[in-house]
Structure 1
Amino acid sequence: MDQFSAIRAFMRIVETGSLSKAAMSLEMPKSTVSKLLADLEIHLGTKLLQRSTRSVALTAEGTTYYEHVGQVMLGLQDADLSVRESSASPSGRIRIDVPSSLANTLVIPALTEFRALYPDIQLVIGISDRPVALIEEAVDCVLRVGHLPDTSLIARTIYMDRLITCASPTYLATRDRPVTPEELRQGHDIIGYFSALTGEARPLVFKQGDRVVEISDTNLLSNDSTGQRSMILSGLGIGQLFRSTVVTHLNTGALISVLDDWTDYAAPVSILYPSSKKLTARVRVFIDWLTDHLRRSHGGDQI
């Protein structure tokens, strides 16, 4: 029995919650993963997992074993990384996921800089606003905007990005420019955003001193930030977009900010990665580069 492979398969089954997802993550047949687990249980003389057609659950013995081998595997990863990183420049493949609006405006245009620094690193970039299961999908890190739910992931907050209330000149030519948030309810078309994670629409939030106003009346909703921006640029309505994604449009006059006397909602822009995995050199240099790039290119509040 290849005990190292068997332990790795066992840990991945626990982390992903199923044999199928573990097999996909390890890029091996499900039958191979199943046999590795069976061989490990025979070797130990005990059952590690209770399996059903839909899920797996650790037995008491499995829980104890997982805790011990987890520390051993982390130690092996540390040893491997120390040797590899001392003898070679970072190389290999990184899988990342980035929101569409940030990908198109801030990340992709700067990748020539990263590629020049690290030509041996291959980037596989997913572009979406959807929730990503990092371990199950073998994604190394994700960039996300907004206050994050409780999670086992490690989050590195890069900066605070402020929502700007804005519309196109075409739209404002046909409507009275709002002076107070309440006027948005009177004859204005509002373009909103809803979370792909929760399905809940994000209200437009305004603050002036101690006064807070929320506007939830929307005419159009999108769960894609680039789609929402396209609607506003097209003159379909007025909405709130993060400053870093529209600063170019504001500078060129393609969008006009309104209600500037009211403070809009601000949210953290963060990089997330699994807490259970030791960062490889290639992932670490990418996270460090992206953090530095976004802080250099963004004029918002840095953390």
Structure 2
Amino acid sequence: MDRVLAMQAFIRVVDTGSFTAAAEALGMPKATLTRGVQELEAHLRTQLLNRTTRRVGVTPDGALYYERASRLLAELDELEGSLNRQGRTPHGKLRVDLPGSIGRSMIIPALPDFYARYPDIQLELGVSDRPVDLLAERVDCVLRGGEISDPTLVARRIGAFELLVCATPRYLERHGTPTHPAQLNEARFPVVQYFSARTGQVIPDTLRRGEEVVEVRGQARLAVNDGDAYMAAALADLGVMVGASVMVEPLLASGQLVRLFPDWELERIPLYIAFPPNRHLSTRLRVFVDWVVELMGQVERMQR
């Protein structure tokens, strides 16, 4: 097997913890990949992987080789990318994971502009609010609303969303219209709660008006851990919701939602793009990041 391909095979086995998964990721027969890793170990005269019937682990020499080989292949990718910038447009496959609400309301509607600029980039969008293992799932980067707590990731803040408190007209007919955010902690004004897919904890909302501060957890009959489900629950008249302005403003304009407490402010929710620290930004990832930053700039101008 070609040396570079053998290095890629070894790195993918370490990332996925499986020869089978690595072969599927690289689109080659498992036997070919296994033979390539064995040839690499023979060439280096050292064992890179510990193989058992249950799992594949990396040896101390393998861990050192993994780190250096990862950097070498990243530099090779960057070199090819620099040549692309001189002669060709960025190309190749890019796997991005993002929340459904951000994908539906912001990223996917703007993709025609992205493809007009970069027609040779193939995007694979994983759309969910669940935490993902970037290495095991071969994800190049993630977009996430809220702070990134994973210390193993490099995170870049690329914008922030204004948050609005809303409810449907039918909900307000049934329950009345609350006049103060503290009322949302009472049972007579049910809310839809959002709990973190990572921690399982309900995420409270903090509203401010001058020196007055109110934390809202609410009395919920329903809690969800997905942004699209959260929006669907609110539109089904199940409770008051807090949503990003870019996502709820079309529904406010159509009358499907009504804004509550317009003289109160919520802390903006930051938007981050994150990727593993041992990966250089490839050209295709760099242009995607730059495009999302530009898109967020347009969103923030609309919010202002």
On whether the aligned pair clears a TM of 0.5, the verdict is: yes
Residue aligning to 2:197: 196
Task: For residue 201 of structure 1, give the secondary structure of its aligned residue in structure 2.
Answer: coil
Q: CA deviation at 1:212?
A: 4.2
Matches within 5 A, 1:155-174: 155-174=155-174
1:247 to 245, 249, 255: 249
Query: Which ranges of 4 or more aligned residues in structure 1 deviate by more than 4 Å?
Result: 299-302
CA distance change for structure 1 residues 12 and 301 in 2, over 3 Å: closer, same or farther? farther
Question: 2:220, 2:239 within 8 Å by CA — same for their partners in 1?
Answer: no
Quick one: distance in 2 between partners of 1:273 and 1:73? 16
Root-mean-square deviation over aligned CA pairs: 2.5
CA distance change for structure 1 residues 224 and 294 in 2, over 3 Å: closer, same or farther? same
Task: For residue 202 of structure 1, give the secondary structure of its aligned residue in structure 2.
Answer: coil
Residue aligning to 1:85: 85
Matched letter for residue 203 of structure 1: P
Q: CA deviation at 1:210?
A: 6.1
Residues 20-42 of structure 1 show CA distances to partners (whole Å, capped at 9, x for unaligned) of: 33223222233333222222222
Consecutive unaligned residues in structure 1, runs of 5 or more: none
Residues 97-146 of structure 1 show CA distances to partners (whole Å, capped at 9, x for unaligned) of: 33221222222222222222223333333322222333332333322111
1:121 has 2:121 as partner: yes
- Give the alignment's TM-score, normalised by structure 1: 0.88
Matched letter for residue 192 of structure 1: Q
Deviates more, 1:287-296 or 1:6-15: 6-15
Q: CA deviation at 1:168?
A: 0.9
Consecutive unaligned residues in structure 2, runs of 5 or more: none
Residue aligning to 1:281: 283
Matched letter for residue 298 of structure 1: E
Quick one: distance in 1 between partners of 2:256 and 2:162? 19
Task: For residue 174 of structure 1, give the secondary structure of its aligned residue in structure 2.
Answer: helix
Residues 66-92 of structure 1 show CA distances to partners (whole Å, capped at 9, x for unaligned) of: 333334333323332223332212233
Matched letter for residue 136 of structure 2: E
Residue aligning to 2:74: 74
Deviates more, 1:219-228 or 1:1-10: 1-10
Residue aligning to 1:153: 153
Quick one: distance in 2 between partners of 1:261 and 1:170? 23
1:236 has 2:238 as partner: yes
Task: For residue 139 of structure 2, give the secondary structure of its aligned residue in structure 1.
Answer: coil
Question: 1:154, 1:275 within 8 Å by CA — same for their partners in 2?
Answer: yes
Quick one: distance in 2 between partners of 1:15 and 1:58? 10
Question: 1:21, 1:136 within 8 Å by CA — same for their partners in 2?
Answer: no
Matched letter for residue 280 of structure 2: K
Q: CA deviation at 1:178?
A: 1.7
Quick one: distance in 2 between partners of 1:106 and 1:192? 23
CA distance change for structure 1 residues 58 and 122 in 2, over 3 Å: closer, same or farther? closer
Task: For residue 122 of structure 1, give the secondary structure of its aligned residue in structure 2.
Answer: strand
Quick one: distance in 1 between partners of 2:218 and 2:31? 51
Identity, % of aligned positions: 37
CA distance change for structure 1 residues 9 and 212 in 2, over 3 Å: closer, same or farther? same
CA distance change for structure 1 residues 56 and 212 in 2, over 3 Å: closer, same or farther? farther
Residue aligning to 1:221: 223
- Give the alignment's TM-score, normalised by structure 2: 0.87
CA distance change for structure 1 residues 271 and 301 in 2, over 3 Å: closer, same or farther? farther
CA distance change for structure 1 residues 113 and 288 in 2, over 3 Å: closer, same or farther? same
Question: 1:161, 1:242 within 8 Å by CA — same for their partners in 2?
Answer: yes
